[in-house]
Structure 1
Amino acid sequence: MLDSVDVSLLAVLQEDGRASYQTLADRVGLSRTAVRSRVHRLLESGIVTIVGAVHPAVCGLDADAWLLVRAQGDPVLAARALSARTAVYASQVTTGNHDVVARIRARDDAALVAEVDEIRDEERVQAVSVFRTVTTVRDTQAIAALYEPCPLDPVDWELLALLQRDVRGSFVRLSQAVGLSRAATRTRVSALLQSGIIRVVAVADPRTMGQAVSAGFGLTITAGARQTTARVAMVPGVRALARGWGPYDVLGEITASSPPVLATSLSEIGAIAGVAACTSWSVLEVVATPAPVDVSAERQVITTVPDPRAQTVC
């Protein structure tokens, strides 16, 4: 479990995973040395992970979906089989009308359909329902965010890859790696962050935050989907939320400290104006936590602008 100072540090790092030790010290009222020690402990223990999450669309991955899977046999083995697929970036074993929930990315809807067809042919898969994400409203795992598209040159791609491998790397180290001045490197990194092309944020296991149970939910919306979904996003514990089409209008995930608290939160969601029906399921086991796009693996298929080593991102 995290103490109150750890929770405060995590809150800052969830806003900005590259926040300096001095900034963190100022926010929590400790010395820079004490903060550095705490951050190192959190990272080395695996309680907190700081990720460089590049928006999938930057790498040409424009189609995203949640799969509600009926397993053939052991659901854990089915979830593991799905997680071994390149397109699948998260999976969990659940209760309810399906046994596994997985999330996948593809370049477009045609590629998404082809991937789903292959998944349906998996020997451990009995049936698949598809929820096609149109808008990601919330994702505390830092996998997606709104961003402003702009051309990237090879230096920008190098910086994105570096930020994924060394998320809190100093500007001195980054500038040496790409062969630019520290000022030019800082400008580029700031532009990448401000445009939403990459987010550098802390991700923590909800259990370390006292959130011992989690559930997924699907909503049928009667009217005012955008406003209704915004109200759902404000319910404490909602970690992921997306609008789209398929078996539901909205799909999400929520955590809580105990089953009674979770039941209360789900009841609160079901009572929100505009929600016609709320179907929920318990998460029994997380087989693969949501993972960011790997820039090193995807970059080669993306067209970039020429490499003038003196221009900024946008």
Structure 2
Amino acid sequence: MTDAVTPMPHTGPDVEFAGLDELDRDLIFRLQIDGRLPSAQLARELQLDQRTVRRRVERLLDEQVIRIAAVADPRALGYSSMAMVCLTTAPGANFGAMYDEICAMREVDYVTRTTGPHSIQAEVMCGSERELLEVLTSFEAHPGIRSFEVLRYLRLHYQRAWFSDTDRSPQPRGVRPIGLDPTDHRMVSILARDGRTKFAALSYDLGISESMARKRYQALTRSNAMRVVAIANPLHLGFSATSWVAISCNGAAGWSSVAEALTQVDEVTYVVLTAGRFDIIAEIVCGSHEHLISVVDAHIRAISGVERAEVWPYLELRYKPLLPH
């Protein structure tokens, strides 16, 4: 396989974050709406002193419960070749070691262990076709992998790294692929590393005035090209029935039409048009298996153009920051 990089944050369900109480969850929810909310405003909204809020947020960041960063089209970060690779391990292979090895690959940013036809799904983000081919070749040559299926991304249609909570107010809609100019690209790259970078530092790095930096940031968020949020593992926030849904279309409606209909389902957080055995893959984030069944039956299979939907519930999820390529 390709060379590994610094180990990923521990974001699988095997890691317990002691003391994640209602205040922590409330802070996470608010920072998922706007990751740049200042401590003073959070303190006012929660009727707490600012020092308590600042310490709580710092703890959540230090323990890697959350990471505050820009969510945007991966192409804005230099990733032009992307795919979901669904893997089956060979008989006798050490599954745990294989899973850890895949998670640590430089090109892999999101790994799920699921029930279904494949035991592991790895999202591969590459800067070129050659780089993607090298990753696939390494999978093919690995003795621990019995088989794999490639779902090549044609378009990442929609993504939302924040999760609905029916007991709270509605959250903003997700990010969509929108053309950006070079300055916007640089702003997205800076905020992907640290979503709380101050506007004064942004203006200096971009070579523009602070007021212009604010205007550009506001334009990016208003157009849904980017949003800065607290990124968290949904399994840690009580969404225990999170799942991939692999969809085949029947031609009654175009791919884009089906993909757009999926974005109107509150529980859908990720929609990709793919080449391969499936036309679309989507992620749904649910609090229970009954909720998941209801979403799939009442909302996804009911969409015009959906012929078949396979559900692959998560047993484990690990991810790492998608930094500029």
TM range (shorter): 0.7 to 0.9
Query: Is 1:259–2:277 an aligned residue pair?
Result: no
The partner residue of 2:146 within 120, 123, 126 is 126
Shift of 1:81: 2.0
Give the corresponding residue for 1:233.
263
Contact 1:172 1:182 in 2 (8 A): yes
Give the corresponding residue for 2:32.
14
Give per-residue Cα distances to partners, 1:65-106, cap 9 Å, x unaligned: 111111122433322222232211111222211111000112
Matched to 1:221, the amino acid is: C
Query: Is 1:243–2:273 an aligned residue pair?
Result: yes
Contact 2:112 2:314 in 1 (8 A): yes
The partner residue of 1:113 within 133, 148, 156 is 133
Contact 1:21 1:32 in 2 (8 A): no
Cα 1:9/1:234, change in 2 over 3 Å: farther
Equivalence map 1:184-195=2 (5 Å): 186=214
Query: Is 1:89–2:117 an aligned residue pair?
Result: no
Equivalence map 1:108-257=2 (5 Å): 108-141=128-161, 145-152=176-183, 157=186, 162-172=190-200, 182-183=210-211, 186=214, 199-222=227-250, 223-224=252-253, 225-257=255-287
Shift of 1:251: 0.7
Matched to 2:148, the amino acid is: V
Query: Is 1:283–2:275 an aligned residue pair?
Result: no
The partner residue of 2:82 within 64, 75, 79 is 64
Give per-residue Cα distances to partners, 1:109-137, cap 9 Å, x unaligned: 44423321222112221111111112223
Cα 1:75/1:141, change in 2 over 3 Å: farther
Shift of 1:13: 2.8
The partner residue of 1:30 within 47, 64, 72 is 47
Contact 1:218 1:252 in 2 (8 A): yes
Could you tell me which runs of 5 or more consecutive residues in structure 2 were left unpaired when the two chains were aligned. Answer: 1-19, 163-173
Shift of 1:165: 4.3
Give per-residue Cα distances to partners, 1:132-156, cap 9 Å, x unaligned: 1122233223897423221249xx8
Could you tell me which runs of 5 or more consecutive residues in structure 1 were left unpaired when the two chains were aligned. Answer: 299-314
Contact 2:301 2:308 in 1 (8 A): yes
CA distance in 1 between partners of 2:124 and 2:281 (Å)? 14
CA distance in 1 between partners of 2:210 and 2:235 (Å)? 39
Cα 1:267/1:174, change in 2 over 3 Å: same
Shift of 1:55: 3.9
Contact 2:271 2:281 in 1 (8 A): yes
SS in 1 for 2:243: strand
Shift of 1:248: 0.3
Shift of 1:18: 1.6
SS in 2 for 1:213: coil
Shift of 1:16: 2.8
* TM-score of the aligned structures, taking structure 1 as reference length: 0.75
Matched to 1:19, the amino acid is: L
Cα 1:163/1:253, change in 2 over 3 Å: closer
Question: Which moves more between the two structures, 239-248 or 97-106?
Answer: 239-248
Matched to 2:79, the amino acid is: L
Matched to 2:149, the amino acid is: S
| Corresponding residue pairs, total | 289
SS in 1 for 2:182: coil
Identity of aligned residues (%): 24
Cα 1:177/1:274, change in 2 over 3 Å: closer
Contact 1:88 1:104 in 2 (8 A): yes
Give per-residue Cα distances to partners, 1:213-254, cap 9 Å, x unaligned: 222221111132223223333334323221122110111222
Cα 1:77/1:253, change in 2 over 3 Å: farther
